[in-house]
Amino acid sequence: MRLRLVLGDQLSLPLSSLRDVKLGEDVILMAEVNEEATYVRHHKKKIAFLFSAMRHFAEALRSLGHRVVYVPYGCPENTGSLFGEVLRLKEAEAVTEIIVTMPGEYRLLNEMESWQDRLGVPVELREDDRFLCSTEGFQKWASGRKSLRLEYFYREMRRNHDILMDGDKPLGGKWNYDHDNRQSAPKRLDVPAPFSVEPDRVTEEVLALVTDQFSEHFGDLKPFSLAVTREDALKALDQFVAERLSKFGNYQDAMVQGEPWMFHSHISFYLNCGLLLPLECVHAAERAYFDGTAPLNSVEGFIRQIVGWREFIRGIYWHSMPEYAGLNYLSASRDLPEFYWTGETQMNCLHQCIVETKANAYAHHIQRLMVIGNFSLLAGFAPKEVSEWYLAVYADAYEWVELPNVNGMILFADGGLFASKPYAASGAYINKMSNYCEHCVYAHATKTGEKACPFNYLYWNFLDQNEEKLRSNPRVSMIYRTWDKMSDSKKQEIRTDSRRFLALLDGSQA
């Protein structure tokens, strides 16, 4: 008998480990284990989402005639680890081979590579071909390149999969419409309600379990309205295309207080656990363009996130691990403040983004990168702590997508492996792209002093502190020329304000 192990982020019927499964002969194992639920302090909503989605997927497999052994979290015999559950089933039945699709995290792959020796039966690790670029394909693309840049990878992906192409040229004449996708939101903006589903009996049971077993974890469990089946995930995709995609392009970088969902798709929950597949999302957006219901800048921007950024980031992860996890190019070492877990800070932009993360296990990419991430960079937080936070708090987070975004895009901890410069910005950027500053005790236009927006002086302090490593960067050198023109007294004000603020931050009083 062959054992097929399915992980919590592998909830796809076309999964490589299930492709040749034999009814009546093979057994499929799924397990809710403590080791995976607690290796970081995962958001309550994330745990509930995955446990419920796993249980629904197991029922879908059973409805197709498969034999599924499902081990719930509360099962008295549950060993608490994936290896323990595989071993337990192997000892109970005549398992001759174990087949599993490669996991999305290096720590788990590293462990699984030892299973064959430990279990005494063949263990086949199959490529996760739900992605559009294999790990081998990315290695070939990256080989010999001095720098790894998304734009060139993205173009190749578009060509390879014939996405938004007019022959061998990009549809509309341009590969990238990012410059058209940076509008700030107008005062009055009609944002559609996000997709939501009422919890069914299975989900209610999981919510009770999480309430009982994970009460100390971060985040609000209720209300819970995420899709937990493929059928509902497809409905979420359809609703995005019908109601949000047309304005997604213009306002994808905009932030509005009280509107955490904006015009984003909110399908990363479902893509990253396998309820949706990349090409079906891409083709749904393409159809909207050809049907005339969504403009090209919106459709291209959405598709770039999937076939460009998502695939690129995964490639970077497997190309660079395990060394990548320990990189700290800027030698950042400050501890994460308590308000990253509570949202209790006078900086309104951070307060809004963190309390929305706490409530929804979600924040859109500019909130993650240019508010929380930007502040993490300027304040010099230790990469390991920031990475663990991002992995814990978002329901779509797995290490393959989280770690390169944190170490590469947010903290520049890899020294610029794929980002051409640190994504540092002052309060002016946040004011331009949001209305957060209107409700803040700090003044975004004030550069120094106790009432000044901390992003303003921390921005220049960051450049000052990291001058030796950053001045030679072509995209940063021009900014240093502005710094050079500042008077010594102005520079001293910036340093003094930064020391004062960072001392408060270390005491979690910022």
Helix axes 311-320, 150-161, angle to 10 degrees: 120
Closest CA to 426 of 450, 412, 443: 443
Residue 438, judged by CB atoms within 10 A of its CB (0-12, 13-18, 19+), counts as exposed
User: Residue 438 carries which DSSP code?
Assistant: G
Cα 478 to Cα 485: distance, rounded to the nearest angstrom: 11
Closest CA to 238 of 280, 291, 292, 298: 280
* Cβ–Cβ < 8 Å for 45, 59: no
Closest CA to 87 of 117, 125, 109: 117
Cα 291 to Cα 507: distance, rounded to the nearest angstrom: 56
Strand, helix or coil at 373? helix
* Cβ–Cβ < 8 Å for 75, 43: no
Cα 298 to Cα 288: distance, rounded to the nearest angstrom: 10
Could you list the pLDDT tens digit for every one of the 510 residues in the chain? Answer: 999 999 999 999 999 999 999 998 999 999 999 999 999 999 999 999 999 999 999 999 999 999 999 999 999 999 999 999 999 999 999 899 999 999 999 999 999 999 999 999 999 999 999 999 999 999 999 998 988 999 999 999 999 999 999 999 999 999 999 887 888 899 888 999 999 999 999 999 999 999 999 999 999 999 999 999 999 999 999 999 999 999 999 999 999 999 999 999 999 999 999 999 999 999 999 999 999 999 999 999 999 999 999 999 999 999 999 999 999 999 999 999 999 999 999 999 999 999 999 999 999 999 999 999 999 999 999 999 999 999 999 999 999 999 999 999 999 999 999 999 999 999 999 999 999 999 999 999 999 999 999 999 999 999 999 999 999 999 999 999 999 999 999 999 999 999 999 999 987 666
What domains does the chain contain, in order, with CATH numbers?
2-126 (3.40.50.620), 135-192+244-319 (1.25.40.80), 339-506 (1.10.579.10)
Lookup: tokens for 12: 């796809």
DSSP-derived pairing of the beta strands 123-126 and 97-101? parallel
Cα 94 to Cα 369: distance, rounded to the nearest angstrom: 50
What single letter denotes the amino acid at residue 369?
A: L
Closest CA to 233 of 186, 283, 267, 199: 267
Closest CA to 14 of 313, 230, 259, 244: 230
DSSP-derived pairing of the beta strands 27-31 and 2-5? parallel
